[in-house]
Structure 1
């Protein structure tokens, strides 16, 4: 389910043994020095070119392919963004930036978008970039038989055509002010056109690195492309990505110096890792969040006051402290968290209040309430612990929660969207409309709460087409209020993206939070300090 969440897949990968981990991880408790919480370029005077980077990455599988339509996790996403570029990219400030397109312009109704290609860009095989390469690459994800994870994302495109060799015109079925953000999706790498298709399997791209070797689910080696167009980045001369899906083995590799950077640090180990002398933690706020969806068409969740009672019966501060280990932000029962552009920070925070929960139970005509809550660490690591904490806090409100632990295997197929009250989580999205369209429109495929509201639908569609930023902020604030006050999802918290780095690895002041490892762009944005 990594298209909807940042879940890690297992595969045929290079894994250090648990015994090796226990031997080397003893260093975690023995170090005397605490590394800086977040070290960046200013500590060493700025980026330095040269050197070799070794990355130990989760999210690899034996089925990995250079075909961007199949990308689904960090290992291949990072390779894709290293050897190729998108038409536009998500910057380190999480705003859309020029990439292969140097500029773009919408029509007044946001239904027609015209992108102007950057001149002088060549692929690593010497071929010049042209409009046909872009159109062919995008259409690989739109075809009737396409199985690309981006197919649904691009369903709003009616037509793509070129105007000469430098202009590309997208005609949308309806207005979308966020359309450029959709084109930052990690599937939408641009490859050279060959025989009417995007030549993904060759590994040829316009990126700052070329692929020297690739073993699916095992490793990849890369070399800096000295003719790449984006020469202000790309500091390392070369790099090796090693697939290490096991969390303990990844940590061991970092502590022992076998790799320089890792993704997805186990939050239970962060406090000890911070005491390792030559390792530092890099955590970045993101839009990834956790939900407890309630079927709004199924008793007792069809009663708004029963839902509000449950929302007041959960201790969000405890969720942040004990489940996220402090690496996140408290949620407010809607999906537009602090890392989003249109987050309404002035909306009052819902708090743990057993008395208010009892008030809503009484208003619902319920003296007490008993519900089954289905969860599994297959939903997210810590989901079962979170269920137990919820059970304990809800008891004080007269609510009995039966925590039913489901098998991790098959959780997303057998429990999510099947059980009326369960654990869920959503991966990062760059813009508000993406998560709202996926999960909060009445007819959304993944409307996990079955909540339907015609006014909410109208607001979501209106915000999508609105080009005026101030007006969009007003609409998105109204959306957040409706979901918080009338919706059917408890949102206890938003997660930070947590990475581990060797102390001499330099990073910019801002780090992209759209996905692990600087949004997958870490190889071209980070460096080794001299």
Structure 2
């Protein structure tokens, strides 16, 4: 009788074990604070687009890894001519788009030509301005000729703005993205979530996840409640840093604290009076207490910056002293510029916590020196339309999460409208320089120039604050680009 019970128990135990293996968790729900305006990373500046589709749906010739390195993507290898101007790429064989069509050199040419076209809407069109021609050698080989050598070219090709798209599916790319990545677009419930499914025909290593849902939760209080209730599995860039100690003390969760490429700045409209006067911009900078903003809005998470450059970059120069907090100096500069009684302006704040919370603190600091900033809270789509595109603002707060993007200051038509021929010439020299030591020197000069011109109020480097269930592996701790890379994520047994 005992042996029968033992045999029965063994069968039951085996069924449990088999069942646990059969139903091992292979899906994930990851929350984000912002919903993308659409899903075409090659025609908008919204970070939320790349967060969903970078590497997962769309891939480029090269790609960023979680440690910031640039590795081959759809390009298996490449050769660079002796003069540094011709790149010959060998593409991976057997790669198909999600609709079953082959990915070949014609698609790469289409993508690069589209990015460089006169009517291109690519938010980072300047990345491709140095391309002189793109020539298809054969289906798996193509040649890209540059006008001048560019030491950043392979780095630039890793951006989400440089992913490869196909002419057959470009018409509906914003709502039905068709790429070559490890996941296919499945469904978008506007205002709620986007779902991706594993691509059964992926050319690379099969991901552990079968599906992933990106859930949009904008309110920090709701984010905390959803995470604590385990309604979601992870929250990328958790918007309520004050709650992190509670998650750290709870064995159900893990907290991932790293860095991003996000220079958080008080963006200033350099062509709008009175900000076209460097004395006013300097006064603005000296009115800001960075540490108070980091402590008050980010609960201590963040690194003060004095220029538009990431502190973890080896070429970083600490220039925080150039714009040190000094309200008396700020008032004196305003008086010298003819604004002894101060002036009024607008402060547009997009939804992220660093902007809304930081904006309240900055408005109070500016008021202390006589600058009355009217806070205007805007949704992300409104910010893109009125501030980024329309340049209709005085001040705004935003974190620039693109990697090594100091080159934006060489674009006079960029939304903060800084126009310096000296800086533009410096960027031209940097782009044509390949010697590492000389590039470091030039990057230092670039940092000093925009710091001394007080182009923007440089605040802090955004920390990456992630919260996830304890069993999840493979999440990026740092964010070398805006991405939630699903390809390496798995659940521990």
User: How high is the TM-score relative to the length of structure 2?
Assistant: 0.79
Query: Residue 164 and residue 401 in structure 1: after superposition, are their counterparts in 2 closer, same or farther (change >3 A)?
Result: same
Q: Is 1:278 aligned to 2:252, yes or no?
A: yes
Unaligned runs of 5+ in 1: 1-48
Shift of 1:353: 3.2
Distance 1:491 1:246 in 2: 25
Distance 1:75 1:392 in 2: 33
Distance 1:485 1:372 in 2: 24
Shift of 1:223: 2.5
Deviation digits for residues 407-442 of structure 1, max 9, x if unmatched?
A: 52645655677577412324311223xx43x3x22x
Q: Map 1:92-171 to 2 at 5 A.
A: 92-107=66-81, 110-122=84-96, 129-143=103-117, 147-149=121-123, 151=125, 153-171=127-145
2:216 maps to 244
Distance 2:35 2:362 in 1: 33
Q: Contact between 1:379 and 1:425, CA under 8 Å: does it hold in 2?
A: no
Distance 1:210 1:300 in 2: 49
Q: Is 1:431 aligned to 2:404, yes or no?
A: yes
Shift of 1:133: 3.0
Partner SS for 2:342: strand
Q: Contact between 2:348 and 2:397, CA under 8 Å: does it hold in 1?
A: no
Q: Map 1:289-368 to 2 at 5 A.
A: 289-294=263-268, 301=275, 303-332=277-306, 334-340=307-313, 342-345=315-318, 350-354=323-327, 356-357=329-330, 364=336, 368=340
Deviation digits for residues 187-236 of structure 1, max 9, x if unmatched?
A: 443356659x799688664433345x3245343241363x64432x7233
Please point out which of 436, 448, 456 is paired with 1:481.
Answer: 448
Which deviates more, 198-207 or 375-384?
198-207
Deviation digits for residues 117-149 of structure 1, max 9, x if unmatched?
A: 234545567665432232234444445555454
Shift of 1:177: 2.0
Deviation digits for residues 433-491 of structure 1, max 9, x if unmatched?
A: xx43x3x22x521151x543332221111112211111011011011111112333211
The alignment's C-alpha RMSD in Å is 3.8
Distance 1:295 1:65 in 2: 29
1:444 maps to 412
1:53 maps to 28
2:156 maps to 182
Q: Contact between 2:412 and 2:419, CA under 8 Å: does it hold in 1?
A: no
Please point out which of 59, 64, 67 is paired with 1:85.
Answer: 59
Shift of 1:508: 6.3
Partner SS for 1:429: coil
Query: Residue 477 and residue 277 in structure 1: after superposition, are their counterparts in 2 closer, same or farther (change >3 A)?
Result: same
Q: Is 1:526 aligned to 2:489, yes or no?
A: yes
Deviation digits for residues 43-67 of structure 1, max 9, x if unmatched?
A: xxxxxx9733233344446x74579
Which deviates more, 167-176 or 378-387?
378-387
Q: Contact between 1:55 and 1:241, CA under 8 Å: does it hold in 2?
A: yes
Q: Map 1:176-255 to 2 at 5 A.
A: 176-191=150-165, 194=168, 205-211=179-185, 213-215=186-188, 217=190, 218-223=193-198, 225=200, 228-231=202-205, 234-236=207-209, 238-247=210-219, 248-255=221-228
1:389 maps to 361
Q: Contact between 1:161 and 1:169, CA under 8 Å: does it hold in 2?
A: yes
Q: Contact between 2:44 and 2:122, CA under 8 Å: does it hold in 1?
A: yes
Q: Contact between 2:367 and 2:373, CA under 8 Å: does it hold in 1?
A: no
2:462 maps to 495
Query: Residue 360 and residue 249 in structure 1: after superposition, are their counterparts in 2 closer, same or farther (change >3 A)?
Result: closer
Shift of 1:316: 0.9
How many residue pairs get aligned? The number is 462
Partner SS for 2:243: helix
Distance 1:216 1:161 in 2: 40
Query: Residue 198 and residue 178 in structure 1: after superposition, are their counterparts in 2 closer, same or farther (change >3 A)?
Result: farther
Shift of 1:241: 1.0
Q: Is 1:462 aligned to 2:429, yes or no?
A: yes
Q: Contact between 2:349 and 2:359, CA under 8 Å: does it hold in 1?
A: no
Distance 1:255 1:170 in 2: 50
Q: Contact between 2:66 and 2:477, CA under 8 Å: does it hold in 1?
A: yes
Partner SS for 1:81: coil
Query: Residue 223 and residue 385 in structure 1: after superposition, are their counterparts in 2 closer, same or farther (change >3 A)?
Result: closer
Q: Larger helix proportion, structure 1 or 2?
A: 2
Q: Contact between 2:242 and 2:299, CA under 8 Å: does it hold in 1?
A: no
2:376 maps to 406
Q: Could you say which structure has the larger radius of gyration?
A: 2
Q: Contact between 2:39 and 2:177, CA under 8 Å: does it hold in 1?
A: no
